Structure 1
Amino acid sequence: MNEVIKLFEDTLFSLKTTIVLLIIFAFVIGTATFIENDFGRETAYAIVYGNKWFEILLTLLVINLIGNIIKYKMWRKEKLPIFVFHFSFIFIFLGAGITRYFGYEGIMHIREGHQENKIYSRDPYLQIDIKKGNKKIHFEKIKYLSAVDTKPINVNYFMESFNIDGKKLEIEYKKFIKGVKVDLIESKDGEPAVLMKISFGMAGDTIILKKGSKEEFGDLIILFGDKFDWNKLDKTKNILFVFEENNKFFIISNKSLTKMSMVSRQTEVLKPNKIYPLESRNLYNLNGFNFVVIKAIPKAKTVVEPLPRNRQVLQAKAILSALYLNVVYDGIKREVVVLGKGGGIAGIPTNLKLDDINIKIVWGAKVIKLPFSIYLKDFIVRKYPGSNKPSSYESIVIVKDPINKKEFEYKIYMNHPLSYGGYTFYQMSYDMDEKGTVLSVNHDPGVIPTYIGYTLLFLGLIINLFNPKGRFGRTLRMLTKNNINKLIFVLVLIFGLSGKIYAYPQSKAVNSNTNQTQNFDEKIFQERLINVVKKISKEHADKFGEVLVQSLDGRIKPFDTLSLEVVNKIHGSPTVFGMTHNQVALGLYLMPRFWMYIRWIKVKHPAIKIILGIDPDEKYFSFMDAYDSQGRYKLADAVANARRKSPAERNTFDREVLKIDEKLYILYTFLDGQVLRIFPKKDDPNHTWYNPKDALKIFPEDQKKEVAQILLIYQAGLEKAFKKNDWSLADKGVLAIKNFQRKYGADVIPSELKVKAEILYNKLLIFEKLTFFYFLIGLLAIGLIFTQVFLPNKDFKIFRIILTLALFVAFLIHTIGLGLRWYIAGHAPWTDAYESMLFISWAVALAGVVFARKSIFVLAGVGVFAGVFLFSAHLGWLDPQITTVVPVLKSYWLLIHVSVLTASYGFLGLSAILGIITLILFAIKYKELLGEERVRKIEQSIREALRINELSLILGLSLIIIGNFLGAIWANESWGRYWGWDPKETWTAVSIAVYTAIVHLKYIKDWYSPFKMAVLSVVGYFSILMTYFGVNYFLSGLHSYAAGDPFPIPVWVYWAVGILTVLIVLASINRKLEES
């Protein structure tokens, strides 16, 4: 028996079990993200996150962790940092368990001038109330339901049994249909019910009211109950109360209603607090809410019809769904349909009478009553100047607690929650009319152990990196100068062999005869047009570049920025015919008719050129080329066809035609002057700026005169400039515009220093130039390695120092560039896809700065890798413009979270590069081809590369863990939840699990080998690529840049996987190393 127990302990507490559990965990949660993407969040929770077997898996991981802590005596002094961060996960698990079983989240909706003391749970509950005489039984449990039936075990299945005075009541799951539409029909066994259509503004819904129903729409509450319930209601809100008496339906409200007959069109006013018959074919209105009774049946049965099972329905949130149940009581059997929309929204009660008992079943949010009330005094939305994009929104509330005799005012806004009475209230969203707030409410007793765990985790991981007796410290000391020199030989060998492969390229005949199909007259016409538009002075255009413009998202930026964005977008480069972007953009506004005929809009796809009617060799077309002689848009059919397809279904032609359509739209808005919003309106509450045409229409008379005077000066200046080439008067016109902006837009315009900084940023093109610089460093490092082999007696230390310093300079310039962008934007430069690519490249360079002095090998890899990320950022698929940010991203926790997390991508990326090169070394390690001595040096170099790889892995894993849990703190401070299983955070957890398994593999001798380590350091990076690109572009979620359907997987991904697979197979042939 003791041997069995020992075997069980050895198995459960082994590192092999740790790795197996981690891989299972990673696979399970990774799969769950695809389930959520296809079938919705509730299905993912029902199958995985909310299931008991998932809790068992997590518990096994923690038990395994505790066993390993004891087994390896991690509490010893030399292992103390390791013990601290391993032990921290026990606290985090404990806190998560307390939160899961004793905490809850809910949603509170309050209208201005009203108070609320109830929240609706985020989790969906199955609630059953049974009544027999004076005896009452209440049952409830959290129940997520999957949109798909799972086999062999159906996760939706349940059976609840109750003993009622010796009689057995069983309620058993039958089926669940997500997405249904409902109707009412008469039934002798039915109950009173009303089918009603309600609308408010652009929103609307069809609802069924039964006894006990409660529906909320803005500040309107619709209830169905017994007549005597009316006197018990809280009348502080707008209430429409429906009741049934003697097979007839009546309504009563605490507000006046209007009723209009849809037949006679006659209108009647219904007085408050008076009972009126509820009639069909009448339109009722209560404070802007319209409702029509479709059916009102005293004995009604609900008929359910499933909606089409398409992706839109399966992914939908808060969609009406049907839960079918079999109810059996003392031999009486009945099928029941329970309607609901899941968590956050109260379910529709289904009432049933069987023999001597009454049953009420509800599936939906649980209503939780708080011991105090929150009164909404005012709700304020602050928007970016001249736009409808919210900059921030806040709820000014009054907490009313009569039990503790407390009352105080508090302001709730993003990242500034209210904590009171064990509850925390977070600003979540608001009503469309901006008169009501939606608060996320969290009751979480697990905060303290969770935060203790986070603190221990951060301390342990950071101290471990500086612990000389730790694995990181020991590996770092093993990197000696002699060992590094061995790497130089190997890299030369690799590139030397590749040089022989390409030593005899096949000659390719070049046809020097260019086919001139372009019409000569057209060419002369184009030249004349270009000569005209070139008359705009560069100096004057640069001065106009300092004029401020308000973008549609509310950002105030120099015209220089707008012109750079537009010209780059349309032409593909910032210069056109030798003209600067400012000259071009100013010309678009001043000479629109000329620019409509100039061919400067970039086009690549040959099929689009055919539709446009231009020569196949042409690279550009004009605005007028897109229209035929009748003024019809040539691309109309192609654009309409492409838009009908989901992004995943679009081919190259579809994507290109949509890009061209976007270019033409942007050009049109510029030619028409719509985007030139340079004139701020006086005393405008939203600080809106207008283009000259609109300003002359809607400005007050005094401002109209000022604008007209400025335009006259500028027009006269232009006439003088074009006739005499004297731009002095036009320059005065520009100065007048700038003075006007300072006079009326002083509250929102950026400082003079910030404007100059932005123009400098545009001029320097820091990141575009750094791309070349990084590539140059990487290639020169490779060249130096070649040179050292051919001239072994020469000392190249000075060149190595120069390249290292060059990387430091590049890293410094990169840092300054990011800092400049930060200063200009007013927020950290990692809030969109383009900025995150810049930051990942910076993180790669940081990894190089950390390890460059240890190996020129690293210097070469980092230079190329950083260059690749910057090059990818500027291929045209990402938008580089600086934008405003949503309120939730205005948090210092975001700055730390994203910066640390993204930095980890750089170190893990370096590890992947080293892994690839190590695999190449394995692949060429043939004694027959290279000789025994060279193979011995290759093997020494493999070991040395793996040491650097190991350092990069440990540092990268430490950073990704810290960054991930800093994100949890940010999430908890912003909306009251550390972990919500959003696809981004889930795939970060996948990456952590994968890299934890890789790092711990070295401790298992019969599983570890240098070859496996090289393979896993490369393959592991696919989890990072999925975390960044996969989630952002192929899955739905809070962090996704994609909207709706996912983008198709690029073809190069398949090629990369194929090439990598071939490399791994070739490397596996010589995967064994001689004992060192």
Structure 2
Amino acid sequence: MKRAIALTYSLIVATMATATWIEHFRGTEFVARHLYGAWWFTLLWALLAALGVAWIVKRRVRRWSTLLVHAAFVVILLGALLTHLTASRGIVHLRQGATVDTYLAERPDGSTEELRLPFRITLDSFRVHYHAGTTAERDYTSHFTVSDGQTVLRGETAMNRIFTFRSVRLYQNAYDPDMAGSYLAVNTDPYGIPVTYTGYGLLFAALVGLLIDPRGTFRRLLSDARLRRGAFLVLVLLSIGREASADPLIVPRETADRFGRLHLLYSDRIAPVQTFAIDFTKKLYGRASYRGLTAEQVLMGRLFDPRGWDKEPMIRVKDAALRRQLRLPRYASVNHFFSPDRGYILGTYLMEYEQGQRDAFHTACVDMDAKIRLIMSLRDGSALALFPHADVYGAVRWRHPATPLSPGELPRMDALFLRSYLSLLREQIVKADYATANTLIEKLDKYQRLHAGGTLPSPMAERAERLTNAFPFATVLFIVNLTVGLLALLYTIRQLVRRHDAPRTDRLVRRATLGLLLLSFAALTLCEVLRWIVAGRAPVANGYETMLLIAWFTLLFAFVAGRRFPIALPFGALISGFFLLVSHLALMDPRITPLMPVLGSPLLSLHVSVIMMAYALLSLTFICALTALLLAAIGRRDPERTAERMDALRLLSLLFLYPALVTLGVGIFVGAIWANVSWGTYWSWDPKETWALITFMVYAVVIHTHTWPAFRRPMAYHVYLLLSFLTLLMTYFGVNYLLGGMHSYA
């Protein structure tokens, strides 16, 4: 029976992993129909549940937490089966004033059929809500009337707000461009959802029970005699050429700083001009400054002296093939991209890209074209939405100098101010009359505060953003954490192989390491708080922010574990340093942007935060495994002592692994509840959620030591954990950058 369980379990994991890659090439509809929706895939899950129950009965398992965990999974699978067999999903299209009583339901083969609703529904109104002063959508709301012949009821739906009537759940889905129509998702699942939610409740209780059960493995680990007698002191981290040209116009720093304190509409939010200037300079040059000039000076120079700055070699050309093909230097000027005989040298390659040539070279051409277009948008003023004014409905819009204006849209003096302001400022800058230029900047600041209404950020948010702009948290902290972690780990390894103790040195190194990491943790906490203040939401919206959050949790867990296991400190420093390094390497966009409407849910913040905690803990088990295998390689002359240390590292790893599995399980299923509230389906087999489930299933194997006693041996345990980390890498980085999907941050 044990082999049958292993085979079925492995087949399910392999099928899910393979399906995510097939989906990448064949599409979601194909895998939904031929893999996830296939009868044999359902049968595999049913077989696994039956074999698991039979094995528990055979082994006469009596521990309540273990029984509850497995019972919860059986109930969840039963709920999924009921949903698969009895639920109906579809879309109803409403037009204002029209009454409908049917919807288009999805069939298993991907087609649709028209089914009748148990009531009639009439759309009364639809409204899009925007973030103040921007065109970024904050929410959608449909107001309607439903009637079943006996009851007439007014209702509404919005993102993350469901309307339920006669066992039918309606979700806001989309809307017509003319704002007179709305699409609502329809979900009828009266049996599957209650059973599934019951399973989730049992699972949450069971996972917590794994940590608090006095007879459970985790509590026994905490009571291990080696912790009481300080045997882990053996492992203590005692730790721890360019083209010549005339100089372009350079605006004095004081004037540029004043200009940077103005506000503009950028990335669908109102931000300081300084933020745009920094992102502008980073996009072109790769750094936040250029030859000792601040980002604001670069921005104003490019804005008011385009010809002079077109000669500046500040456009970084990262792709080597692009440099070779177009004979470009590593840092090129705008003039390099325009030839008297060829015109815009990227033009031909951009056309080839549009015609389907999507290789690395043509993709690099598109990326380079984005930099040139950014410069051109600054030149024509379309990047500078500096001028707020309320429309006839009282909603504030931020306009740029090139915004088309209809007659009477703005008062005559305001329209003149919008059209002529940058020209007036340019005139003073070119004449080097910076006193008058400063006065003009002050006038625009007063104009913004007069007309922006409530769209300007609060003084606290403004100060927070300027502080975030001033200090490159990720860059500095990844250097600190990696350096401290590497030196501390090397010292620890040296300590493990030396024959004589040096308690004074050990104590000094440990205090220094702890002090540096506490400073790093405080700085990272400040970074997270500042981003929260600026964005007005939890900083969990993109890949950059989740990397910072994982680094923060990793350090937090390292401090907690470090009280008993000092070796956790270098582990935490290294892992957090690597996550901060990834966020620094421009692989992820650090810009702060508003959330999509569907993401504005407390459940989502909880889901992401708990998942990030799990990833941080699992990363620490990886470092434990890596250190143990390194000790095995260098400690062959003293095998008994090496075996003792590897077993101690296994104990430490398990203390990370149990809460990691609990938080990962809770995070996955909180995400499922959020998805059901937002999308009308609690599981859609998106690549990210599929790989998160794979990660959970792979890591869960190693705690079943009664079934698989081989994992009681430190070598087998650490090798398995080392390889299991590949699933975590795939869940986060593989899905983000290779597979895509609705969860992708790339």
Indicate whether the TM-score tops 0.5: yes
The one-letter code sitting in structure 1 at the alignment partner of 2:199 is: G
State the TM-score, normalizing by the size of structure 2: 0.92
The residue number in structure 1 matching 2:208 is 462
The residue number in structure 2 matching 1:682 is 390
Quick one: structure 1 residues 831 and 790, their matched pair in 2 at CA, closer, same or farther if it must change by over 3 Å?
same
Superposed CA deviations along residues 864-899 of structure 1, whole A, max 9, x for unmatched, are 221111111221232211122211111111001111
| Structure 2 unaligned spans of 5+ | none
The residue number in structure 2 matching 1:702 is 413
The one-letter code sitting in structure 1 at the alignment partner of 2:205 is: L
The residue number in structure 2 matching 1:539 is 254
- Kindly state the Cα deviation for residue 559 of structure 1 after the two structures are TM-superposed: 0.2
- Kindly state the Cα deviation for residue 376 of structure 1 after the two structures are TM-superposed: 0.5
Superposed CA deviations along residues 118-137 of structure 1, whole A, max 9, x for unmatched, are 1222224xxxxxxxxxxxxx
| Distance in 2 of aligned mates of 1:998 and 1:787 | 30
Structure 2 residue 156 is the aligned partner of structure 1 residue 411: yes
The residue number in structure 2 matching 1:52 is 39
Q: Which protein has greater RCO, CA pairs closer than 8 Å, 6+ apart?
A: 2
| Distance in 2 of aligned mates of 1:95 and 1:864 | 42
| Distance in 1 of aligned mates of 2:33 and 2:22 | 10
Count the aligned residue pairs: 737
Structure 2 residue 377 is the aligned partner of structure 1 residue 666: no
Structure 2 residue 529 is the aligned partner of structure 1 residue 529: no
- Kindly state the Cα deviation for residue 576 of structure 1 after the two structures are TM-superposed: 0.8
Structure 2 residue 143 is the aligned partner of structure 1 residue 396: yes
Say whether the 8 Å CA contact 2:613–2:663 is kept in structure 1: yes
The one-letter code sitting in structure 2 at the alignment partner of 1:584 is: V
Quick one: structure 1 residues 677 and 592, their matched pair in 2 at CA, closer, same or farther if it must change by over 3 Å?
same
The residue number in structure 2 matching 1:773 is 480
Say whether the 8 Å CA contact 2:304–2:430 is kept in structure 1: no
| Distance in 1 of aligned mates of 2:560 and 2:5 | 31
| Distance in 1 of aligned mates of 2:312 and 2:423 | 28
Quick one: structure 1 residues 843 and 608, their matched pair in 2 at CA, closer, same or farther if it must change by over 3 Å?
same
Structure 2 residue 577 is the aligned partner of structure 1 residue 577: no
Say whether the 8 Å CA contact 1:983–1:1031 is kept in structure 2: yes
| Distance in 2 of aligned mates of 1:758 and 1:484 | 44
Say whether the 8 Å CA contact 2:239–2:511 is kept in structure 1: no
Say whether the 8 Å CA contact 1:416–1:426 is kept in structure 2: yes
Superposed CA deviations along residues 231-260 of structure 1, whole A, max 9, x for unmatched, are xxxxxxxxxxxxxxxxxxxxxxxxxxxxxx
- Kindly state the Cα deviation for residue 681 of structure 1 after the two structures are TM-superposed: 3.1
Quick one: structure 1 residues 18 and 820, their matched pair in 2 at CA, closer, same or farther if it must change by over 3 Å?
farther
The residue number in structure 2 matching 1:486 is 234
| Distance in 2 of aligned mates of 1:1020 and 1:441 | 39
The one-letter code sitting in structure 2 at the alignment partner of 1:972 is: N
The residue number in structure 1 matching 2:188 is 443
Superposed CA deviations along residues 14-61 of structure 1, whole A, max 9, x for unmatched, are 4x5444332221112222223333333343233332222222221222
Give the alignment partner of residue 625 of structure 1, picking from 324, 336, 353: 336
Give the alignment partner of residue 381 of structure 1, picking from 128, 131, 135: 128
The residue number in structure 1 matching 2:98 is 114
Say whether the 8 Å CA contact 1:1033–1:1040 is kept in structure 2: yes
Quick one: structure 1 residues 1029 and 1006, their matched pair in 2 at CA, closer, same or farther if it must change by over 3 Å?
closer
The residue number in structure 2 matching 1:793 is 502
| Distance in 2 of aligned mates of 1:792 and 1:1008 | 30
| Distance in 2 of aligned mates of 1:912 and 1:646 | 40
Quick one: structure 1 residues 1015 and 783, their matched pair in 2 at CA, closer, same or farther if it must change by over 3 Å?
closer
Quick one: structure 1 residues 986 and 716, their matched pair in 2 at CA, closer, same or farther if it must change by over 3 Å?
closer
The residue number in structure 2 matching 1:730 is 437
RMSD, matched Cα: 2.8
Structure 2 residue 719 is the aligned partner of structure 1 residue 1009: no
The one-letter code sitting in structure 2 at the alignment partner of 1:549 is: L
Quick one: structure 1 residues 490 and 549, their matched pair in 2 at CA, closer, same or farther if it must change by over 3 Å?
closer
Quick one: structure 1 residues 1004 and 785, their matched pair in 2 at CA, closer, same or farther if it must change by over 3 Å?
closer
The one-letter code sitting in structure 1 at the alignment partner of 2:163 is: L
| Distance in 2 of aligned mates of 1:639 and 1:72 | 65
The residue number in structure 2 matching 1:634 is 345
| Distance in 2 of aligned mates of 1:842 and 1:787 | 28
Give the alignment partner of residue 98 of structure 1, picking from 82, 91, 100: 82
- Kindly state the Cα deviation for residue 658 of structure 1 after the two structures are TM-superposed: 3.1
- Kindly state the Cα deviation for residue 644 of structure 1 after the two structures are TM-superposed: 4.5
Say whether the 8 Å CA contact 1:714–1:732 is kept in structure 2: no
Superposed CA deviations along residues 452-496 of structure 1, whole A, max 9, x for unmatched, are 22122112212322334321122233353643233469999xxxx
- Kindly state the Cα deviation for residue 416 of structure 1 after the two structures are TM-superposed: 0.5
Superposed CA deviations along residues 954-984 of structure 1, whole A, max 9, x for unmatched, are 2211111110000010011112211122222
Superposed CA deviations along residues 155-204 of structure 1, whole A, max 9, x for unmatched, are xxxxxxxxxxxxxxxxxxxxxxxxxxxxxxxxxxxxxxxxxxxxxxxxxx
1:595-634 equivalences in 2 (<5 Å): 595-605=309-319, 607-609=321-323, 618-630=329-341, 632-634=343-345
- Kindly state the Cα deviation for residue 438 of structure 1 after the two structures are TM-superposed: 1.2
The residue number in structure 2 matching 1:591 is 305
| Distance in 2 of aligned mates of 1:959 and 1:1006 | 25
The residue number in structure 1 matching 2:70 is 86
- Kindly state the Cα deviation for residue 422 of structure 1 after the two structures are TM-superposed: 0.9
In percent, how many aligned pairs have the same letter? 30
Which structure has the bigger radius of gyration?
1
Deviates more, 1:666-675 or 1:957-966: 666-675
Superposed CA deviations along residues 715-760 of structure 1, whole A, max 9, x for unmatched, are 575367x25xxx4432222221122112222132222221221111
| Structure 1 unaligned spans of 5+ | 1-10, 125-143, 145-341, 344-364, 493-515, 1043-1076
| Distance in 1 of aligned mates of 2:77 and 2:606 | 23
Superposed CA deviations along residues 812-837 of structure 1, whole A, max 9, x for unmatched, are 33233122212211232222222222
The residue number in structure 1 matching 2:9 is 22
- Kindly state the Cα deviation for residue 660 of structure 1 after the two structures are TM-superposed: 2.2
Say whether the 8 Å CA contact 1:486–1:940 is kept in structure 2: no
1:968-1007 equivalences in 2 (<5 Å): 968-1001=672-705, 1003-1005=707-709
Say whether the 8 Å CA contact 2:551–2:576 is kept in structure 1: yes
Superposed CA deviations along residues 355-401 of structure 1, whole A, max 9, x for unmatched, are xxxxxxxxxx2322122111101111234567654322111111112
Structure 2 residue 462 is the aligned partner of structure 1 residue 758: no
Quick one: structure 1 residues 96 and 814, their matched pair in 2 at CA, closer, same or farther if it must change by over 3 Å?
same
- Kindly state the Cα deviation for residue 435 of structure 1 after the two structures are TM-superposed: 2.0
Say whether the 8 Å CA contact 1:118–1:370 is kept in structure 2: yes
Superposed CA deviations along residues 782-834 of structure 1, whole A, max 9, x for unmatched, are 35436754872332224313423433432333233122212211232222222
The residue number in structure 1 matching 2:725 is 1021
Quick one: structure 1 residues 998 and 389, their matched pair in 2 at CA, closer, same or farther if it must change by over 3 Å?
same
| Distance in 1 of aligned mates of 2:165 and 2:519 | 51
The residue number in structure 2 matching 1:718 is 429
The one-letter code sitting in structure 1 at the alignment partner of 2:105 is: S
State the TM-score, normalizing by the size of structure 1: 0.65
| Distance in 1 of aligned mates of 2:499 and 2:526 | 38
- SS of structure 2 residue aligned to 1:692: coil
| Distance in 2 of aligned mates of 1:605 and 1:448 | 54
Give the alignment partner of residue 426 of structure 1, picking from 165, 171, 178: 171
- Kindly state the Cα deviation for residue 701 of structure 1 after the two structures are TM-superposed: 0.8
- Kindly state the Cα deviation for residue 712 of structure 1 after the two structures are TM-superposed: 7.8
The one-letter code sitting in structure 1 at the alignment partner of 2:741 is: G
- Higher strand proportion, which one? 1
The one-letter code sitting in structure 2 at the alignment partner of 1:622 is: S
| Distance in 2 of aligned mates of 1:807 and 1:84 | 39
- Kindly state the Cα deviation for residue 427 of structure 1 after the two structures are TM-superposed: 0.7
Quick one: structure 1 residues 454 and 805, their matched pair in 2 at CA, closer, same or farther if it must change by over 3 Å?
farther
The one-letter code sitting in structure 2 at the alignment partner of 1:448 is: P
Say whether the 8 Å CA contact 2:238–2:507 is kept in structure 1: no
| Distance in 1 of aligned mates of 2:552 and 2:288 | 25
- Kindly state the Cα deviation for residue 692 of structure 1 after the two structures are TM-superposed: 3.0
Say whether the 8 Å CA contact 1:811–1:842 is kept in structure 2: yes
